[in-house]
Structure 1
């Protein structure tokens, strides 16, 4: 049997009739890292995990902790076929909990919450928290009202664009000019009208470039423009119940991608000022669930700013799992069993990287060192690899090799 054939063998597909011999959860979403981390966090604690609304070729589906993959009609704002399919699935298997794992799944369920089967336990945050957390402009306004530091920023609306920017002057609310570079952030990463199109922040280096962006790429719901802040990216990851933080872990980014994501991260000792800012937001939103609160922190000056809320499971979740902060299982215990006392004893100094994306980031950013020793001697954890669950990482490597080979073959073809 070839390596590719070994990888392509499914680790799932046991569609036994319902239930209820085991505890069972349905995961929804198309973020491979998050699906895999949540599945591992639950599966290692004896919870059977099914997955839907993801790519059938996702490496996460190779995990031994994914019991079954279900093909369900994707969300559409124009009809309810997706809803009918989901309802048939949840009624057949009587899940303890249905967890949307990224924006692709979170936004439809939150917006259509009144249509969801009331007899099924759906993980949703309260609507007020959703309206704030999934709108970057509202998030920033709330943080400012709570006395939390935010970057120098301004909001641009459709009316502003229609009035024109011929003078190329952009001002803050107090009429001070913006200092470039700035980051232009759509108010929401995705919209209900197109949940497959993720809208990312863009770095803009001059007033002319900003004007061109606003003229040619302006989203209909407006943008938030924030000045760049010198510092390291810090994530405060939490589980909360009714506005009270029950679990917390903090990490810093060691390497970032061009679009602002992280490929290499490390758990750190608590920064009290960021803990307090997070607590204020959680309390104000009466938040129940998991989330990651993003900050920038300047270690030389001690200055910091709050950036945004990821009101769902976050992309660097594999780091938390590696550091023994099992947020997926804790969420299950909270929502299904009502457990609110969690004794976290996570490890500081744990590092975890997304191997393929980190190689790409290292190449583009020309970092002075890749921490190769940590990688070769097994000191770092990997997003997709675990000793008890190696197939997902192997699947990503095979996919990467096929991609490189395909590009090489095409180049040869063009040169002939």
Structure 2
């Protein structure tokens, strides 16, 4: 096996290490938008005087309010071979002359890796080498590498073809962890694979049925009881320059948003060193372990070879991983390892609160236990008073992202309360008024775009059905549809095709389309179906937030703007009800437009 490092820097001149202040011309592009790895990276570099630019997926993200972001750039999704993405990114790198490009998740990292040769001529890329990409971004390959180096992993094996639940249970037991090898992969870059913890035989049977025709291997592992531990490292050619260990303070279903610094365990650090040395790894990585506090045994779970979710904690206590990565890749400077204080806590306030609410649901009907749960959660905030706790978003020198997160939380709670009290949501816009205004306007052609989640059920049905209802005015009204999910050419579900045919709509040949900025701008009226659609559109295109209406505003049976829920994965009866509701709304749409269209 070829062992190579990360230094794909062909055509890019080396920078000499500087001992003085950072040059104002030094610029870095950070791709992402979350309030953990992305925001922590942005703040780390910005505080050192580096000019930081961002290329987000969610343009409504609170993290983009950071004072340390100088510019925000729009980059299209990587679709259909990525030609538009590659042209946009290439031009951006030429125009801005970045010292370094840092991707903060796989959706950004994988396209950079695929086009490392051409983009590596334009800027340094903080991406893993081909060997590291193969070993650390495939759970099966990670497991095989760990086993070959004597690093403990959970007992398990690959799923056999046509295997049934009883044989899996006999061999592995329950609960069983079912893993797909990669969280993200091309060409379906924006579909995240899931890891399932299956606790009984019926659920396992359903899970195995789901993976029956899978084109990729499926990993089965025994459930290892323990708490989550992370060992984070900065490496150069396999050598660990800095290491940091954290333990999860709160944990639910394998996720945590509250953690604390802990002393480095020598055995786990040695295991990490064996793996980084074997592939001569260069860059940042977080090795995730599970530790049984009773037996003190532990196993490796996976490796995140990129900026990771718990990154704000080490940065907040002086282990500045992002800036030291910049020094390593841009200045070829290997800074010495630093010690760090233990029992320092880091909390993602909004996500930890959300997780605490989920845990409180376990105590429904048991007020004493629920009160104790919330009391324990609130008691943890005492560490703020002693300086032993930091928050991921809420920091004094860059307060706006944290303030926006809190405001968004209260706004969301107020909306939910209004929904519970009235049973209705506030209309996104007055669809009837907008349609009448368009119909009365002198413009010769009016384009109406229906947008749902994936453009395989609701919006596709509405597009075809609207054409039927507006057949007499086909010369003036044009109907199209798209989905907010960045996926193209997916067919409608069999249930949708079957029930649509019952309603006289042929969806057999429909292929999904992604709602691009161009398609949204070209529409005179954008009509969505539910809250998820609205969130997707307004997150990526905040300036369109007031230009979108909900189709259900026209449902006279509802009397207000409720939603038309996605029927995907439901029974044919649900599909039938959804299509009936769409028919009702479209009939009203046609009725509203018709008198104006025929006016002399």
Does the pair score TM above 0.5?
Answer: yes
Higher relative contact order (CA 8 A, sep 6+): 1
Question: Which structure shows the higher helix fraction?
Answer: 2
Structure-2 residue corresponding to 1:374:
382
1:342 paired with 2:336, answer yes
Q: Kindly report the root-mean-square deviation, in angstroms, between the aligned alpha carbons of the 2 structures.
A: 1.9
2:33–2:39 contact (8 Å) kept in structure 1: no
**265, 278, 301: which one pairs with 2:295?**
301
Between the aligned partners of 1:394 and 1:375, the Cα distance in structure 2 is: 20
**167, 170, 176: which one pairs with 1:169?**
167
Structure-2 residue corresponding to 1:87:
90
| Rg larger for | 2
Deviation (angstroms), 1:35:
1.1
Between the aligned partners of 2:344 and 2:211, the Cα distance in structure 1 is: 40
Q: 2:280 is paired with a residue of what secondary structure?
A: coil
Deviation (angstroms), 1:387:
1.0
Between the aligned partners of 1:311 and 1:77, the Cα distance in structure 2 is: 26
1:28 paired with 2:31, answer yes
- After superposition, the Cα gap between the structure-2 partners of 1:221 and 1:232, relative to the gap in structure 1 and judged at 3 Å, is same
1:407 paired with 2:401, answer no
After TM superposition, the score normalised by the length of structure 2 is: 0.62
Figure out how many residues of one structure are paired with residues of the other and give that number. Answer: 387
Deviation (angstroms), 1:375:
5.7
Between the aligned partners of 1:114 and 1:207, the Cα distance in structure 2 is: 48
1:183–1:204 contact (8 Å) kept in structure 2: yes
Between the aligned partners of 1:101 and 1:401, the Cα distance in structure 2 is: 28
Q: 1:169 is paired with a residue of what secondary structure?
A: helix
2:257–2:351 contact (8 Å) kept in structure 1: yes
Q: 2:275 is paired with a residue of what secondary structure?
A: helix
- After superposition, the Cα gap between the structure-2 partners of 1:326 and 1:21, relative to the gap in structure 1 and judged at 3 Å, is closer
1:279 paired with 2:273, answer yes
Q: 1:398 is paired with a residue of what secondary structure?
A: helix
Deviates more, 1:108-117 or 1:331-340: 108-117
Q: 2:289 is paired with a residue of what secondary structure?
A: strand
1:323–1:346 contact (8 Å) kept in structure 2: yes
User: Counterparts in 2 of 1:1-400, with a 5 A limit?
Assistant: 21-156=24-159, 160-161=160-161, 163-165=162-164, 168-170=166-168, 177-216=171-210, 219-258=214-253, 260-366=254-360, 367=373, 369-370=376-377, 371-374=379-382, 377=385, 379-400=388-409
Deviation (angstroms), 1:414:
2.0
Deviation (angstroms), 1:117:
4.7
Between the aligned partners of 1:359 and 1:274, the Cα distance in structure 2 is: 31
Between the aligned partners of 2:352 and 2:400, the Cα distance in structure 1 is: 19
After TM superposition, the score normalised by the length of structure 1 is: 0.88
Between the aligned partners of 2:337 and 2:73, the Cα distance in structure 1 is: 35
- After superposition, the Cα gap between the structure-2 partners of 1:74 and 1:231, relative to the gap in structure 1 and judged at 3 Å, is same
Between the aligned partners of 1:319 and 1:282, the Cα distance in structure 2 is: 23
Structure-1 residue corresponding to 2:366:
none
Deviation (angstroms), 1:298:
1.8
Q: 1:278 is paired with a residue of what secondary structure?
A: helix
Deviation (angstroms), 1:325:
0.5
Between the aligned partners of 1:115 and 1:215, the Cα distance in structure 2 is: 42
Q: 1:177 is paired with a residue of what secondary structure?
A: helix
Between the aligned partners of 2:191 and 2:406, the Cα distance in structure 1 is: 26
Between the aligned partners of 1:92 and 1:177, the Cα distance in structure 2 is: 57
Between the aligned partners of 1:354 and 1:252, the Cα distance in structure 2 is: 15
Between the aligned partners of 2:157 and 2:247, the Cα distance in structure 1 is: 27
